[in-house]
Each structure stands twice: as C-alpha cells, then as structure tokens.
Chains A and B, each alone.
Chain A
Amino acid sequence: MSDENSTAVADATSDERLAYRGVFQRLLVRPEIGAIIGAIAIWIFFWAVSVPFGTAGGASNILDLSATLGIMAVAVSMLMIGGEFDLSSGAATGALGIATILLVKDTGALGGAGLNMSIAIPLSLALALFIGWFNGTMVERTSLPSFIVTLGTFFILKGAKLGISKLVVDQIQVGRIDEGAGYSFWRKIFASEWQRNDHQFGSRDFFYTLGIVGGFALLVLAVHEYNYARRKVLNNAGAALTAVAFAGGIAGIVILHATDNTGGNYLGGIVIAVSTLVGLFGFGWWRFEPVAQRGNLHIDQQVSKSFGLGLGLVALGAISAVTLDSASSSDFFLLITEQGLRAMLFVGLTSAGITFMIIGVRQASTTNPLTKSTGLAVLATTIAAIAFLVRSESASPKFRGAAFSLLLVGALLALSWAVTSSCFEERRFAHTAADNTGRLLALVGSLMVLGGAVVRLLFTTAAEIERGISPAKFSVRIVWFLSVAGVATWVLGRTKFGSWTFAVGGNKDAARQVGVPAARTKTQLFMIVSSAAWLVGLLLAFRLNTLQSGTGDGLEFEYIIAAVVGGTMLTGGYGSAFGGAIGAVIMAISKAGIPFSGWNSDWRFVFLGGILLLAVIANNFIRDKAEASR
C-alpha cells in the first residue's frame, strides 16, 4: 500500500518537538496499569505463602469473590468518572434482591406477590432503574453533592428493606426464592455452576503449554516490533535463522519430555535457551535495522552507583538467606517465623536490588546501546544466580520448580533483550505500520496466554483426579462479571456516552457549553449503577436463597475503594472501567488470600487499608509521570 508508506514518512518527519515515547512509557499512560501490576504482585505474594492458593480452587475462589464486587466496582467506576458518588449502591443490591424474592414468593394472606419470575425479574429491574433515576434527578435538580443525596437514599433503602421485610414476612430475613415459579429456568442464568472435576480433557496440558509459551513468545515479538526500527528490505537469512531456532526450541521441549534425568533436563534447558537467543537475534536480523555505530562502553558515575547498590542488595539478600537457619520455626514476631523473616529479607532485598539494577540499565541506555546491553547482561546473570540459589536453598517443591523456571525465563529474556538491543537500532519515531503489527501480535499473544490459562482452570485430567485434586467450581456470575467489565470498557472508550461521561466528570460546564446533555448523562450513570445493583442482588438471591435485610449495607465503600485502586480519580474525569474490575480482583485476592495463608481474617482490613493508600499513591505517581512524559 502506497498510503502506508506516506504516513510512515510523515510520522517520521513531523515530530521534531515531541520526543518519541518508548513502548513501556506508553503503557504507563493507561490508568489501570498500576492496578494490574499490583494485582500480580499481591497474587504472587499469597501464592508464595500458601500452598492451595495457586490451584484452580484458589482461582475459582478469587473469581467468585471478585464477581459481585467487580460488577458493582465497574459501574461505580463509570459513575465516579462522571464525577458523582452513589452511597446507596451497597444497600440497593440487597434491596433489589429482597424485592425480587418478595415479588416471587407466595406466603398466603400477607406476604409476597407470587408472581412468575419472568414477570418479577423485569419488574425489579424497573424498580432498579427508578432508584437510579431518582438519585440522578435529585442530584441534578437540587445541585446538592451526590454524597448527601445518595446518603439519604441509602438510609431510605436500608430502612425500607428492614421495614418491608418485617411487614411482609415478619422476619428480617427474606427467603426461599427457589419456591418461586420459573426458578429452574432463571437459576441457570444467574447461578449455574461449572464443576471442574466433571470435565476431563486429555490434551489439556498440551493446549496450556502451547497457549502460555506461544502467547508469551508473541508478546515478546510485539515488544520488539514496537521498539526497533524496521528494515526497508527484509533480510531472508534472518528469517531462515529464526526458522532454525524455532525447530531447535521444539527439539528442546521434546528432549525435556523424552528424558527424565537431570542431565536430560540440563540438555533440554540449554537447547531451549540457545534457540531462544538465536531465534530472537534471527528475528531481529530479519526485520530490524542493524546498529550503525556501536560506540564504546561508557560507564558514568550514576550508572555504576545504581549497579553497585543493586548488586550489593542482591548479595545481602543471598547472604541473609544462607546464614539464617532454615530449620528453626519458632515464632518470634507476630505471625512471622524465622523462616518467614528469612524469606522476606531475601525477597525484599533481592527485588530492591533488581529494581536498582533496572534503574541503572535505564540510565545506561541514555549513554549508548552497548552500555545498556552490558547492564542488561549483568542483570540477566544476577537473576539466573538468584534462581539457582532459590533452587538449592528452598525446601518447598513449588519454589524449586515454579520459581526456578520463572526466574530462569526472566533471566533469559533479559539476556536476549541485551543481545538484540545491542545489535539493532531502536525506533525514535512513530511508525504506523509497525505499531499496527505490534498491536496485532500483542493481542493474539494475550489471547493465547489467556486461553491457555482458561483451559487449565476449567478442565482437569485423569492424572490429576488420581492424585486427588480438590474440586473447584466456577459460577456463571464470573461470566456476568467479565461481560459487564467488557461492555463497560467498550462503552467508555468507544461510544458517545462514554466520551460524555469523561466530559461531565472532567469539566461539566465545558461539556454543557458544547452541547453535551450533562444532566441526562449523569442520570443515566446513576441508572447504570442501580441496574448493576439489581444484577448483583439477583446473583446473591439465587446463590443464597435467603437474603438478610442487611445484605449489601456498607459495601458501597468497598466498591469505591475498588474503583480508586483501579486508577479512577476521586474528583472524576479520569479512570477506566477495566481498572475497577482489576481493583475488585485485588480486593478479592486479599480477601481470599488471608484465610488461605492461615492468618486471622481480622487482619483483612489492615491489608485493605494498606492497599488503598499504596494504590492511591502509586496511581498519582504514575499519572504525574505519564502527564510529564507526554
């Protein structure tokens, strides 16, 4: 396409005032990036301290807990982006669940309307929409802060739940939705479950490995595509080298599977490592512009300081891990055994050390490519050394296996990044075609990783059942959660309504000035929140059968916390629905993780508060960075 070429040239020539932003810098601009990193870090933390946390059972637990919280967090995020709060959202979940049960239930003279569910459920949705409309209209008509208006609605709902429950069924709990007409049909929609142990899939591990390995490979290639300058003419020798390396990688995996002794493992590992390096180099040689001027190794004071500090910290971590006695397990501080202290020292010091080394690499990259590559190579060696230390010192097979291979893969990636970045020119200008390819590769890669993980979560194998795996079940509420998050993200990013939401939250007067119907947009946002509350109320009702009249009261702050953790600004106008979903997952991980790791669940709130503060600080920092780097 000739058009493609001309845009590329235009892109390259017209940006003398604006520096090109690198791939990682561009990623940092997303509001939810802090939350994603946080979610991964917290998950690894609990995975490290508790054995069953990393299994399908742990995952189903987290997803189940995040579903109801997440549906609300997504809706509340949208409302907060629009600049308003809804304190009645928690109470509304319970109220709408109870309303549905009362409409369905038939208890003789006094209680219940005894309607068929196919009538009752739309009716309660209408009630939900009315509550949202009421909130929105009150806020707009009175121009009072939504905090006050919805606080009023909160008390009204709370009181109405209690009062009506007592009036109708003379109890503070309203129950037995399963006695209603049409229950069996609607149960499928709101409460069906997937029993993992009933679904065996022989070649599951094949698909899992394919998804994870292939997906990550594509993600790495996507980063390359984003980061390096493209060749004008492709180099076929490079393509051939890539193909050879690919074959080598497959051979390595075959060796690993075929042999079962240490020697075979080492051989397979080395073959895979070498072919990865060769493959990435070949890929670069095929597609990217070679470095014209290598330059000399130049290490300035800043770089050596960061690297010295980093190496020192890593060494300290290693020494503390080796010297502290791993056999003793006496409690000496709160819940922490000496072994725990050892682990914390090790993880804390080494991760701080690696962070400093990464900072060093960034500083080195400003001098010349060779210095940067040398720094990366040192980093890779350090990570590999840590991996071997973990393997030799750790008592738990999880760490000997999973952590060892993860660290080795990390080291390998850093090393290949070092090799390729010393050989190829980094892109300093926008290139639309390369960006599009990169985006496509990243998308396919993420889908493959996701697919691999989902296959592993949903299916079991005969071998696993033989070993006696504990059952895990996935509720349909997870599907609801994911769909709500997906639709909300699309609506916010791609529709008029989404644009208007950001506008009324960011600067209401300016939005109104250009013809955005601000009052209508806000009212619709309140109605979205109350519809989400309706959905959550139904999910709860079908799960629990009987709802207490206090159901949901006080949870509105958890929704707001999840939204804020997900990167939504308290003052409105900035944030994302997807971030709210991730925020909910973070809270669910901490909720599920604390009992899993055998601590008293009273500590949950301390943890929650800590996460909230950390998240707000981190989000502020990232946003400032992002704004400054544009």
Chain B
Amino acid sequence: MTAPTLEIENISKFYGNINALQDITTSVDAGKVTCVLGDNGAGKSTFIKILAGAHKQSEGTIRMDGEEVNFNSPRDALAKGIATVYQDLAMVPLMSVWRNFFLGAEPTKSFGPFKWIDVDTAKRVAKEEMAKMGIDIRDTEQPVGTLSGGERQSVAIARAAYFGAKVLILDEPTSALGVKQSGVVLKYIVAARQRGLAVIFITHNPHHAWPVGDRFMILNRGRSLGNFAKDEITRDELVTMMAGGAELEELTHELESA
C-alpha cells in the first residue's frame, strides 16, 4: 500500500495555555474525500490554518506522499500542492471570471522587456476548465460577483485543480448556501475527487458530509472524537456524534423538565 497523499499525525496546537487542538490524526488519499466535522469552536479553523501554512503546529507531523513537510507560509503550502478555498475570501467580486481564475499566476507573452497577459489563452483555458467542472460560462468577462455562491466556489475549485494542487482544502463551502446551491457544490466536490485530487472538506453539516465523504474525522473542543472510514460508521452515528451525543440528550432532559 502506498502512503496517503496527506497524512496528519498527532497534531497539537497551543496558544499560550489554551489547547486549540490536541492529538489530531487523519489522512486523505488521492481521489478521496476526507470530511472534517465540528461545531463552532471545535478547532476547525486552527486545523485549516495549520494545513494552509498560516500557522505552525506545536506538536506532531504532517507527511505528504510519505515524506515529512513543513509549511512556512500560505505561499509555501500552495507551492507544495495544498490549495485552500476559503468560503468568503475566494474571489474578487468585481473582477471578471478569467482574471479571477488566473489571479496571481497570469499567463504572459513578452517582447523584449515588455510582458503582458496572454488574454486569449487565459480566457480559453478558464472556459475549458470551468466546462470540466460542468459549468458552461459563455462570457468569461462576466464579473465573478454576478455568479451564484456555488458557482463562485467552483471557480475556486477549478482554479486549484488547474494549478496542480494535490490536496484541496474546502472551508465550509456549503454553510452560506441554500439547499440547491449546496447540492451544486457537493457535485463539484465529487468532480474534483474524480479528477484525482485529495479533498479535505470541512463542514458542520453531517448531511452534506455523508454523501461525498470517504473518511470522517469529528472534532469537538479541540479533540478528535474519532477518525472513521466510511464503512466503520453509519450515517445516524455520524449525526449523533456531530450533534454532541450525550450532551444533546442531557439538553433534551433539561428542556423537557423545565
């Protein structure tokens, strides 16, 4: 068996005397989706920031394809093949689709000392890559702000895939969306998985996680409640765990007796 694309082993993060994360272990393979579930304050954002290179873990190791790696900055993580798509920071709304798609890595043509963007190539590639995600954008000059929330996420996903990301981290891509739009984003996640990306899907909604996930890791108050492959856990168990299990039962009693 080959090593997983991204392997996280016993990661902890301390901010002063606060343990934001403790002993987290999980992994993701190419062409698989690992869902990280957790309520607010469970440590999801700390987890993302460590993987995206914004913070450094206090303890533990991260391995990519079996080799230990250290991320010094978000740029470094990106260069090593980890692309993070944040829910609200993904796009510049007033800029066109193709400019957003290539932002920071524009294809250029040059003549002597002059360098300019190869607009035709950029537009064509953006259109093709969006088509691969199943979105037909007729006019890539359209500002991203006029796209729907789901389509915006998909531009970011398509961009990450095009620029050779091996691991795609999605931060709550469905939380601000309606039911239908969430379904659209889930489809893009499946599309990204089929293109051979290793996807880490962070969410607080087990109903979104269950249909796309191959592996589930549940976070609660900075600790892992378990790291399950899909055949080790049922949907109901996942929902109960996510809802807080015993805590919820206690709350039900309290509310009923009041």
Contact = CB atoms under 8 A, between A and B. Distances in A.
A630 B143 contact: yes
Contacts of A500: 103-104
A495 interface: yes
A87 B95 CA distance: 27
B129 interface: no
A142 interface: no
A109 B94 CA distance: 58
Nearest to B98: A499
A573 B94 contact: yes
A267 interface: no
A515 B138 contact: no
B146 A514 contact: no
A510 B159 CA distance: 13
Nearest to B91: A510
B13 interface: no
Contact of B103 (A11, A14, A495, A514): A514
Interface residues of B, number: 31
Given A495-B116, A513-B86, A506 B94 contact: yes
Nearest to B118: A494
B92 A503 contact: yes
A566 to B, nearest CB: 16
B104 A502 contact: no
Nearest to A516: B104
Nearest to B142: A630
A509 interface: yes
Contact of B138 (A15, A494, A627): A15
Contacts of A513: 74, 84, 86, 89-90
A630 B146 contact: yes
B93 interface: yes
A11 B142 CA distance: 16
A504 B108 CA distance: 20
A1 interface: no
Contact of B99 (A430, A490, A502, A512): A502
Contacts of A494: 116-117, 119
A511 B138 contact: no
A489 B139 CA distance: 22
Most chain A C-beta atoms within 10 Å of own C-beta, residue among B95, B99, B146: B95
Contacts of B235: none
Contact of A507 (B75, B91, B105, B138): B91
A384 B21 CA distance: 80
Interface in B94-131: 94-95, 99, 102-106, 108, 115-117, 119
Nearest to B145: A627
B104 A574 contact: no
A516 B138 CA distance: 27
A573 B92 contact: yes
A627 B146 contact: yes
A327 interface: no
Contacts of B93: 506-507
A232 interface: no
A364 B106 CA distance: 45
B105 A515 contact: yes
Contacts of A509: 89
Nearest to B115: A495
A506 B95 contact: yes
Interface string B205-240: 000000000000000000000000000000000000
A506 B92 CA distance: 6
B23 interface: no
A630 B95 CA distance: 13
B89 A515 contact: no
A292 interface: no
A463 interface: no
B136 interface: yes
A510 B89 contact: yes
Given A499-B103, A503-B103, A516-B104, A510 B92 contact: yes
A18 interface: yes
B150 to A, nearest CB: 15
Interface in B142-171: 142-143, 145-146, 159
Contact of B90 (A496, A510, A512): A510
Given A502-B95, A511-B92, A516 B116 contact: no
A372 to B, nearest CB: 26
Contact of B104 (A15, A490, A511, A630): A511
A14 B92 contact: no
Interface in A502-561: 502-503, 506-507, 509-516
B133 interface: no
Contacts of B103: 499-500, 503, 511, 514, 516
A419 B95 CA distance: 39
A499 B106 contact: yes
Interface in A441-499: 490, 494-496, 499
A15 B94 CA distance: 22
A502 B92 contact: yes
B78 interface: yes
Interface of A: 11, 14-15, 18, 430, 490, 494-496, 499-500, 502-503, 506-507, 509-516, 573-574, 627, 630
- The 4 A-B residue pairs with the shortest CB-CB distance, nearest first, are A515-B104, A506-B92, A514-B104, A507-B92
20 contacts: A494-B119, A496-B106, A496-B108, A499-B106, A500-B103, A502-B94, A503-B99, A507-B89, A507-B93, A509-B89, A510-B91, A510-B92, A511-B92, A512-B74, A513-B74, A514-B159, A515-B104, A516-B104, A573-B92, A630-B139
